[in-house]
Amino acid sequence: MINYSDKGFSILHRLSLCLISSLWFYYILYLWGKLDLSLIRLPFNYLLSALIGLLFSAFGSLQNYGDFYSRSGYKRIKDSFSKSNFQVAVMAFCVFASYFVTKDAHTSRMFLVFYIVSCWPVLILSNFALPGLFKRINGYYGLKRNAVLVGSSSSIKELSNWLSSQKNKGFSFIGAFQTDSEKYALDGLRNLGSYQDLDAYLSENSTYQIVVLPDDSDSGWIMSIADIATKHGCRFLIYNNLSGFFDDRLAFLEESGRQFLTLLNEPLQSPFNRMLKRSLDLAICIPSLLTIIPLAMVLVKVFQCIQSPGPLFFRQERVGMGGKRFVIWKFRSMNFDKYGVNDESLQAHQGDSRIFSFGKIMRRFSVDELPQFINVIRGDMSLVGPRPYLASHDYLFQKNYKSYRIRQFVKPGVTGPAQCRGLRGEFTDPKLVSQRIELDFAYVGSWSIWTDVEIVARTVGQVLFPPKTAY
C-alpha cells in the first residue's frame, strides 16, 4: 500500500540532494578559479552528468524512506554512509563516462576527482540530516492536530503503543468514544462517552482525524461514524484489526473490483512491471551474449583444455519460479566427472580439490555464471532475483525457514539482493542463510526497476572486488 507521506518525503529528499550537489559544484568551481587552477570547459555538462547519476542511485536507495525515523542513531548513521557510498559511486561513473565520451582534453580531471570525493561527506551529512529537517518543516514538531478514537475498550487498549508513537508526528489524541459499556483507563486519553455523542462533540471541537477500531461485535455503527466524519470534514481512518494475527504487514490488493488483504505486496504481478523487468533483462543480456560471452567461451575453453579437459558447459537442474525445475547453464569450473561418481549436492568449499586452477579464478570473479544469460533469454531466469538452489537444498530450506517458498513468487536471478551484498558461496552459517532468505523476501515485496538497477551496480562492485566467501 502506498504511503503518500513517505513517497513525498522521498521526492523532497532527492530534489534536495540535487540542489545541495549543484550548489557544492559551483562553490568548488568558484574556489578553483580563485586558486587560478585549470578549470573545466563544459561545467554544466558535468554537473548534469553528476545529477543524473545522483538521481539514478537515489531511486534505488530511498524506497522505504519512512523506516529511517524508527531506527537508532547508529543505524541511521550507517544507513547514511551506505546510501552515500552508492550515490557517489554512480555519480563518479556518470561524470567520467561523460568525460571520456566527449573526449574533452581541456577539462581538469583533478577538478572532477576533487568534486566527486568532496561530495561524499556532503552527501553523508545530507542523507542523515534531511529526514529530521523535513520532520520539523512539515509539521511533525509544533503543529498539533487533534484526533479521536472510536471503538471498544479492549481495541483501544491494544492500540496504546501506536498512540504514543503518533505524538511525535504532530497528532494529539484527545480521547476515545466507546462502542461498548465497559469502563477502561488509559494514560493521557479521556473517555469522551458513547460513539453516539460524536456528532455533538465535533460540532463544538475542532478535530482533524477520526480513527475507527472495528471489533468482533456488530459494526453497523461504522457507517454512521463515516457519515459524521464527512459532515464535519474530518479525516476518516479504519484500523486493520487483522494485522495483529500476522507477523508481517498486510498489503492491500484489488481484484476485479473487489478489495482484499494479502500477506505481501507483489509489484511484479503488474504486467507493466514484468514487461519493464524483462526489457532490462534483454537490454543487458542480448549485447552480452553477442560480445562478452563468445570471448569468454574461447578463453575458458583454452584453459579447460590445458588444465581440465572436458565439456565447456556445466548444466544442473535447479528450482525456479513457482517450484518449476529448469536446467541452469554455467562454465565448467570443476574437473569433469566422467562417470558421475561425485555428489552434485555437495557444495564447493575452500580448498575444494574438484576445482581446477583457472576454475578458481572463474568462480572468484563470477565468470562461470555468464552462461546463465542464456537462461535469461529463454525465460527461465531473470537478470536479478533470488538465486535458484538445487532441489535437495530447496527441500531443506523449506523445512527450516518459515515462508521460504515466497521467494519463488518471482523468477530466480543471475544475481540477487543477497549476492550483491557479499552473501554468496557455501551455506556455512544458519544466520547468514536466514539473512539471504530475508533479503529475498524483501525483494519480492518491494521490487522496483531501480532496485534491479541498484543490485546490478552493486554486483559489478562484487565482481571487481569479490568477498572472501567467493570460492
Closest by CA to 28, choosing from 166, 101, 102, 121, is 121
Q: What is the pLDDT of residues 267-294, one digit of tens each?
A: 888 888 899 999 999 999 999 999 999 9
Q: Is residue 394 included in any domain, yes or no?
A: yes
Mean per-residue pLDDT for 306-335? 91
* In a shared domain, residues 122 and 177: no
Cell match 568449499: residue? 349
- Among residues 137, 166, 184, the one where a domain terminates is 137
Angstrom distance (rounded) from CA 460 to CA 471: 17
Sign, CA torsion 424/428/429/434: positive
* In a shared domain, residues 195 and 105: no
Mean per-residue pLDDT for 330-359? 80
* In a shared domain, residues 313 and 459: yes
C-alpha grid cell for residue 15?
530534489
Q: Is residue 179 included in any domain, yes or no?
A: yes
In DSSP notation, 338-365 reads: TT--S-TTSPP-TT-TTB-HHHHHHHHT
Q: Is residue 253 included in any domain, yes or no?
A: no
pLDDT at 267: 85
1 pLDDT exceeds 50? no
Q: Is pLDDT larger for residue 331 or for residue 129? A: 331
Buried b (16+ CB within 10 A) or exposed e, 363-385: bbebbbbbbbbbbbeeebbbbbb
* In a shared domain, residues 153 and 235: yes
Q: Which residues pair with 148 in a beta bridge?
A: 175, 210
Let me know the angle formed at the C-alpha of 352 by 348 and 357, rounded to the nearest 5 degrees.
110
359, 308 Cβ separation under 8 angstroms: yes
* In a shared domain, residues 112 and 155: no
* In a shared domain, residues 277 and 385: yes
- Name the 3-class secondary structure at 469: coil
Q: 83: buried, middle or exposed (CB in 10 Å: 19+, 13-18, 0-12)?
A: buried
Q: Is residue 251 included in any domain, yes or no?
A: no
In angstroms, how far is CA 61 from the centroid of its own chain? 7
* In a shared domain, residues 124 and 150: no
pLDDT at 59: 63
* In a shared domain, residues 451 and 418: yes
Q: Is residue 86 included in any domain, yes or no?
A: yes
Least reliable range by pLDDT among 130-139, 393-402, 430-439: 130-139
pLDDT at 372: 95
* In a shared domain, residues 109 and 162: no
Domain span at residue 236 reads: 145-241
Angstrom distance (rounded) from CA 103 to CA 292: 25
Q: Identify which of 13-17, 35-39, 251-255 has the greatest average pLDDT.
A: 13-17
32 pLDDT exceeds 70? yes
Q: What is the pLDDT of residues 140-184, one digit of tens each?
A: 444 457 888 888 877 777 776 666 655 555 567 788 888 887 766
Q: Identify which of 3-7, 18-22, 55-59 has the greatest average pLDDT.
A: 18-22
pLDDT at 65: 59
Alpha helices in 36-72 (DSSP H): 43-61
61 pLDDT exceeds 60? no
| CATH code of the domain covering residue 219 | 3.40.50.720
Cα distances from 278 to residues 86, 119, 270, 377, 407, in angstroms, run 24, 34, 12, 9, 18
pLDDT at 188: 63
pLDDT at 143: 45
Global pTM value: 0.64
pLDDT at 142: 41
Q: Is residue 342 included in any domain, yes or no?
A: no
* In a shared domain, residues 305 and 437: yes
* In a shared domain, residues 315 and 400: yes
185 pLDDT exceeds 80? no
Q: Is residue 83 included in any domain, yes or no?
A: yes
89 pLDDT exceeds 80? yes
Query: How many structural domains comprise the chain?
Result: 3
Question: Any long-range contacts for 6-9 (C-beta under 8 Å, 24+ apart)?
Answer: 6/64, 6/65, 6/66, 7/65, 9/65, 9/66, 9/131, 9/134, 9/138
Angstrom distance (rounded) from CA 155 to CA 120: 48
Mean per-residue pLDDT for 105-111? 77
Q: Is residue 262 included in any domain, yes or no?
A: no
* In a shared domain, residues 133 and 150: no
pLDDT at 135: 66
- Among residues 137, 154, 185, the one where a domain terminates is 137
- How many residues does this entry show for the chain? 471
Name residue 446's amino acid. S
331, 308 Cβ separation under 8 angstroms: no
- Among residues 82, 109, 137, the one where a domain terminates is 137
At residue 209 the predicted structure's pLDDT band, cuts being 50, 70 and 90, is confident
